[in-house]
Amino acid sequence: MPKELERDLGLFAVVAISIGAMIGSGIFILPGLALKTAGPAVILAYLLAGVLVLPAALSKAEMATAMPEAGGTYIYIERGMGPLLGTIAGVGTWFSLSFKGALALVGGVPYVLYLFDLPVKPVALALAAVLVLVNLFGAKQTGRLQIAIVAVMLAAMVWFVVGGLPSTDSTYYGGFFDEGSGGLLAATGLVFVSYAGVTKIASVAEEVENPDRNIPLGILGSLCFTTLLYVLIVVVMVGVTPPDLLSDSAVPMIHAAEATLGRLGVIAIIIAAVLALISTANAGILSSSRYPFAMARDKLAPPSLTEIHDEWGTPVRAITLTGAVMLVLIAFVPILQIAKLASAFQIIVFALVNGAVIAFREGDVGEYDPSFESPLYPWTQLVGIAGGFLLIGYMGTIPLVGAVVITAASVLWYVYYARSRVQREGAATDVVRRSVGRKAVAQTKATIETVDGYEVLVAITEETSEGRERTLLRIAADVARENDGSVTVVQFDEVADQVPLQQASETQSPADVEFEERTEPLTEAFDVPVTYGEIVSHDTKRAIANFAAHEDADFLLLERSDDPLYAPIFGTTVEWITRKAPCDVLLVEDRDLNRIDSVTVVTDRGPFDPQKITVANALATEAGGSITLLYPLDDAATETQRETIDEYLAELESLCSVPVNRSIVETDDPERDFVSVTNAGDILVIGTDGGRIRGNLFGRPADRIIDSVDCTAVQVNSKRGGSGPIRRLVERMVF
């Protein structure tokens, strides 16, 4: 029988653990720094920070009851939001904890040295080095010591509040809102990191009895207690100390203690500050080193970070890397910026925690069944996300730039290192995929059910053969007939600039006569209104685009032509018409189309263009044939991705009026595999891809597929409801 952890942590233990994770050196350091920004409203800043932490606390509590065995903010975000955002969360949390540890050392050492005349930074660096060595050598049995440290700190803080409140002077609270809302929000962002430990209990959720009750109550109870304690401490600090002294001091709490508790109180505060320094800094090294270790285990970081020292039993490289970052921060970054960066990264992580809950709830995650659900979902999470990023915007340039740089660096690291090594996705990806699929189906339905008659323009030239004209007209007639429309066939003749158009239009060439003679019987072969004529111009491509606009055409049919050698540099006539035409353009590659029993539709790693489905459905319906929907799927695709895409294809099938075969092609080379499957059909319907510049320089996969198949191909260039570049990128990523 496998070993299981006994659930023996009651509500009091949960509250104690969470309070212990929050109470640290921040309250000894940050009030003075925040006072410069917000004035006496720093009191309200601590209260507001506690309120804005609440959504993340509720979200973490919910995920802890759903996945008690997982533990850790990074794990929840990685599983909920996917490896990319998991990478950002892992790096962000690592940096946040590293900054918090550095803040504890830089801000806490002045309390240690209050009675000694020694330089702060060298002592802080020395203490950091000692703590790194302690973690490297694997000091054990620290649990009871941590409890004792927290108990002493709480006792000193409660004494500070009880002894200081009667001595507060109301004049020190004057000008409470002089710094305005901007100062309040900036200070709130600065002190946000003081509450970072509120979700610590999730890491031991497996050991909590009655977790659906005790975890949320424990987190909420500890957050309320800590917020109240912080607010009261700051009320005392602001109310008993002149603001100039408080804001300019490296040891603001000592000055407040001197004013209220005397020398014994000062000694108690120094002892509490030293304990907080050791506790917070050590926890920062210990906790933050776990993140590169966990990311390496998940293949998001180099495997060397998971190596455990044979003798010491610790992840040496992960701890060393974390220690090196802290030493650099202590040596070169001012304490105010360390505090701001610590809070900024914590805000980002908490925003991702809130997003992870939304991803799990909205995604098709069968195993996600929390016994506690965050109230007022999803508004609680949305407020947490919006409030967090609002704070970052008021914290100044350095935190904002730091957050952007670390986020961008995390994205680049994932793209160039991790993406090829992981084969999983988060619940959020499937949420977005399903949303994109629903929108695509709705657009396709609206397009297919269009009641207005389609006006189809067929543009040919004197070089167009009778066989190709017949194919163009047949395709045009099928598209128009299915939607109660009509067809216009126009032969565009181009004459030299020196020839007057009036004279050219009055002269009928043998080609013109042949066009009329062969087109008249063709119009009678299709049960759809067909008109035909000729247009003479000096510039055929402009004439075609202008006439399509004049006729208010829905579709323009052209012969697809081979690209000349200069095409990569100057483009082609067909490409110009496709870009300038006011309607959808169908480029037809005719390969002796006789009958249509099967229409194959392919897509380029994204939803099917509604117009492609519309054209395919019209062709198959008029010919009494069937449709095959070909979808490329990477060999490494997840089972959830396969199921979602198959459901999407099934919804498309229900919109078509002919039999539909759904074919998901698992491949690492869509061009090769599409060609082998497509050649079994009579006609291929395909879109465009790559963009103009990229396509001209490197060629388009769609063009290469058309050139490789043996059947007739219709290339759809859609302009109605087409996806923009950002949306198209999202579609390709999630599909």
Question: pLDDT tens, 565-591?
Answer: 444 455 678 888 888 888 889 998 888
Specify the 3-state DSSP secondary structure of 662.
Answer: strand
pLDDT at 453: 75
The two structure tokens encoding residue 138: 């694997």
| Residue pLDDT, tens place only, 95-105 | 877 887 788 88
- Tokens at 63, concatenated: 């995920």
- For 178, the 3-state DSSP assignment is coil
Nearest of 634, 700, 692 to residue 667 by alpha carbon: 634
Spatial CA neighbour of 642 closest among 669, 612, 662, 668: 662
Report the alpha-carbon distance of residue 658 to residue 646 in Å, rounded.
18
Q: Which residues contact 436 (CB under 8 A, 6 or more apart)?
A: 607, 730, 731, 734, 735
- Checking if the pLDDT of 388 tops 50, the result is yes
Mean pLDDT of all residues in 259-271: 85
Give the 3-state secondary structure of 24-53.
CCHHHHHHHHHHHHHHHHHHHHHHHHHHHH
Lowest-confidence region among 32-46, 166-180, 305-319, 542-556: 305-319
Work out the average pLDDT over 48-67: 87
pLDDT, mean of residues 264-270: 87
Put residue 669 in one of left, alpha, beta given phi > 0 → left and psi -120 to 50 → alpha.
Answer: beta
pLDDT tens readout for residues 711-725 = 888 888 887 655 555
Are 71 and 214 spatial neighbours (Cβ–Cβ below 8 Å)? no
Do residues 608 and 660 lie in contact, with contact meaning Cβ atoms separated by under 8 Å? no
The neighbour count for residue 534, using CB atoms within 10 Å, is 19
pLDDT surpassing 80 at residue 157: yes
298 has a pLDDT exceeding 50 = yes
Q: Answer for the pair 311, 121: CB distance below 8 angstroms, yes or no.
A: no
Task: Give the model's confidence band at 126: pLDDT under 50 very low, under 70 low, under 90 confident, else very high.
Answer: confident
Start-end of H helices in 138-177: 143-164
**378 preceded by a cis bond (ω within 30 of 0):** yes
What is the chain's mean pLDDT, rounded?
A: 79
Q: How many CB atoms lie within 10 A of CB 151?
A: 13
Q: Which two tokens stand for residue 718?
A: 């859609």
Q: CB neighbours (10 Å) of residue 263?
A: 9
Structure tokens at 76: 């929840």
Answer for the pair 277, 123: CB distance below 8 angstroms, yes or no: no
Q: State the pairing for strand pair 584-589/712-717.
A: antiparallel
pLDDT of 184 reads 92
Count of residues making up the chain: 735
- For residues 300 and 289, give the distance between their C-alpha atoms in angstroms, rounded to a whole number: 15
β-bridge partners, 455? 486
pLDDT, residue 4, reads 43
How many Å apart are CA 294 and CA 101, to the nearest integer?
A: 19
pLDDT tens-digit series, residues 170-223: 888 888 888 888 899 999 998 988 887 776 666 555 566 777 777 788 888 888
Distance from chain centroid for Cα 244: 44
Grade residue 49 by pLDDT with cuts at 50, 70 and 90.
very high
In this prediction, residue 728 has a pLDDT band, given cuts at 50, 70 and 90, of low
- 455 DSSP assignment: E
Dist CA 285 CA 126 (whole Å): 14
pLDDT of 228 reads 92
Provide the whole-model pTM: 0.70
Say how many CA atoms lie within 13 Å of 692 toward its Cβ. Answer: 10
